[in-house]
Amino acid sequence: MTITLRAAEEADHPALVRAVQQWWGDSRSPEQARELALLLPRLFLQHFASTSLIAEEDGGERAWPAGCTRPSSPRPSWRDARWFAR
């Protein structure tokens, strides 16, 4: 089991939405999990893919660390990581 990091792409959106629904599905109804997945719009990956990574293990997504930068500062102003169990 080797975990590799790669740059996020807009094409990752469907897999990330499924992972978010599964993650929230443990504590929410399926409908609530779908609604929470709407908080991850495709637009996010269109704008922040350059500061987001996908951690993969055995060809499947395991984590999604992301960050945003402010135009006035080269340092990330927001960082987050979502680890998804398979």
- Count of structural domains, the chain: 1
> 59: alpha, beta or left, given left = phi > 0 and alpha = psi -120 to 50?
left
Residues spanned by the domain of 40: 3-83
Token pair 């792409």 is found at 9
What's 74's domain CATH number? 3.40.630.30
User: What pLDDT, in 10s, does the model give residues 61-80?
Assistant: 666 666 666 666 666 555 55
User: What pLDDT, in 10s, does the model give residues 16-45?
Assistant: 888 888 878 888 898 888 888 888 888 888
Q: Give the global pTM.
A: 0.67
